């Protein structure tokens, strides 16, 4: 099981698997048995990226190999045929579907988050199987679709630092939408400025952060809705129809992020 603190995904284009920028601010005491990267004081996101990528490749290569077969070079092992739409190097929108296709048992514990995430039953959860993670992401995808979110629509996320950022990233990516991930510690002026430049169709935030940017919300072009995490911590369970799943091309953007702004105007 992969044990991580709260983290932000930093995927820039549809050509990559995923890159995690692991937050060093919320290390938990129960991470003593975690991977060295997760325990490090200043984790290297590139190291974690390589570990996850290699893990997926190994699962693909070895899933159909009997346990008694000695280790073989990856290129010599027959790989499992993936479902339609799942690439050899999956786009972000197909990442979970690909992981489910190659994982030997998606119903065993897969990831533990540093801070709890609300599931579709309205309960706090810190340990997820891959199947549970996919079900939660699909439910959010359906909810966003019901709000009218579609391909290339921007949706701003400005919430407390937790794994929920990743949940929303995957959910929006499955629709071809582009999440605008605003740092939870960003100042109101910075957050509002990012919304002005990215013109989101919706904002998902919490009550305190909305109050801080409320004066400028009315002037945002194209904004259709604002929902609060307190009112909707999780959507009802739902399954995303295949017809709603977006197939990314290599040039399709999958998220908009920004630098910290500590050395000047934040850059996207």
pTM, entire model: 0.70
Could you give the domains of the chain? 2-244 (3.40.50.980)
What was the pLDDT predicted at 99? 86
**11-29 pLDDT, tens per residue?**
333 323 333 322 322 333 3
**Mean pLDDT value of segment 224-236:** 97
HEC letters along the chain = CEECCCEEECCCECCCCCCEEECCCCCCHHHCCCCHHHHCCCCCHHHHHHHHHHHHHHHHHHCCCCCCCCCCCHHHCCCCCCCCCCCCCCCHHHHHHHHHHHCCCCCCEEEEEEEEEECCCCCEEEEEEHHHHHHHHHHHHHHHHHCCCCCCCEEEEECCCCCHHHHHHHHHHCCCCEEEECCCCCCHHHHHHHHHHHCCCEEEECHHHHHHHHHHHCCCCCCCEEEECCCCCCCCCCCCCHHHCCCCCCCCECCECCCCCCCCCCCC
Average pLDDT value for the chain: 74
User: Residue 119's pLDDT band (boundaries 50, 70, 90)?
Assistant: very high
What was the pLDDT predicted at 106? 93
**237-261 pLDDT, tens per residue?**
999 999 999 998 888 888 998 866 5
């Amino acid at each position: 099981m992969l044990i991580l603190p709260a983290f932000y995904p930093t995927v820039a284009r549809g050509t990559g698997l995923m890159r995690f920028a692991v937050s060093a601010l919320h290390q938990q005491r129960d991470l003593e048995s975690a991977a060295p990267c997760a325990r490090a004081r200043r984790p290297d996101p590139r190291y974690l990226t390589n570990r996850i990528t290699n893990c997926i490749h190994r699962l693909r290569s070895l899933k159909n190999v009997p346990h008694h077969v000695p280790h073989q070079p990856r290129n010599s092992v027959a790989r499992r045929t993936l479902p339609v739409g799942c690439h050899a190097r999956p786009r972000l929108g197909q990442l979970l579907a690909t992981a489910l296709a190659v994982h030997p048992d998606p119903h065993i514990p897969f990831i533990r988050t540093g801070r709890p995430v609300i599931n579709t039953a309205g309960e706090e959860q810190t340990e997820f199987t891959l199947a549970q993670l996919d079900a939660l992401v699909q439910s959010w995808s359906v909810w966003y679709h019901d709000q009218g979110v579609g391909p290339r629509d921007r949706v701003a996320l400005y919430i407390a630092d937790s794994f929920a950022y990743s949940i929303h990233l995957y959910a929006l990516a499955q629709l071809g939408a582009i999440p605008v991930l605003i740092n939870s510690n960003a100042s109101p002026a910075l957050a509002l400025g990012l919304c002005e430049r990215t013109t989101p169709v919706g904002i998902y935030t919490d009550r305190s952060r909305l109050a801080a940017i409320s004066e400028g919300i009315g002037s945002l072009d194209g904004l259709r809705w604002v929902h609060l995490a307190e009112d909707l911590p999780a959507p009802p369970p739902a399954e995303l129809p295949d017809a709603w799943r977006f197939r990314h091309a290599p040039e399709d953007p999958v998220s908009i992020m920004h630098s910290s702004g500590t050395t000047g105007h934040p850059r996207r």
